[in-house]
Chains A and B, each alone.
Chain A
Amino acid sequence: TQLLEQSPQFLSIQEGENLTVYCNSSSVFSSLQWYRQEPGEGPVLLVTVVTGGEVKKLKRLTFQFGDARKDSSLHITAAQPGDTGLYLCAVTTGGGNKLTFGTGTQLKVEL
């Protein structure tokens, strides 16, 4: 059993469509991070959410932390080919900066 389950696992959409991906857990977290990993590169941090119910926007990306701080969602409006990549959620577990990553959502946006 994974600590963080992400869904869907794969998503292939056309340019201009909207989409939402999810990160779920049965545990409560003090904060949650979202990363995007493009092909051939390492993950890059997009956002950190820390407060239950918090909504953060990054251009066309909207991130929400669940009220109970157990889950999060990422909504992309009018997806573009540049949004293609692996979207990963991550939480700090144990002491220090030990990050545990979710199973990931592989997104492909086609013209």
Chain B
Amino acid sequence: ETGVTQTPRHLVMGMTNKKSLKCEQHLGHNAMYWYKQSAKKPLELMFVYSLEERVENNSVPSRFSPECPNSSHLFLHLHTLQPEDSALYLCASSQAPGPGNEKLFFGSGTQLSVL
């Protein structure tokens, strides 16, 4: 138990569906992240929120839309995805960016399949 909970654990969706991934952290952190993990590719940073402000958008297509309503919750809204978006989506949290605060705590991920 890392203190970061992601739901759902598995998701299958069609290309025309709209779905959302949810992440909740119970660690008192104030930075949250979305990473994408595809087969045969390194973990890719998608978005970073610090103190509820988006501070990083790593050239992610607009069909992925993040939302951070407070420092404990992070969402990733999905719409009109493509089959190549099938991957493990990992949420992570940390203390606010700063020296010595680089340790990330990850959730278990949502395994997404787009048909």
Q: Which residues of chain A have a CB within 8 Å of any CB of chain B?
A: 2, 4, 31, 33, 40-45, 48, 88, 92, 95-104
- B56 close to A98 (CB less than 8 A): yes
Given contacts A4-B42, A42-B4, A42-B107, 10 further A-B contacts (CB under 8 A): A40-B108, A41-B109, A43-B90, A96-B48, A97-B31, A97-B33, A98-B48, A98-B56, A101-B43, A103-B42
A70, B56: Cα distance in complex, Å: 25
Output the least CB separation between B33 and chain A (Å).
8
Contacts A98-B48, A100-B45; A41 near B108 (Cβ below 8 A): yes
B42–A97 contact, CB under 8 A? no
Binding site for A on B (CB under 8 A): 2, 4, 31, 33, 42-43, 45, 48, 50, 55-56, 90, 92, 94-95, 97-98, 101-109
Q: Which of B31, B103, B107, B108 contacts A48 (CB 8 A)?
A: B103
Q: Does the CB pair B42–A99 fall under 8 Å?
A: no
Residue of chain B at shortest CB distance from A3: B42
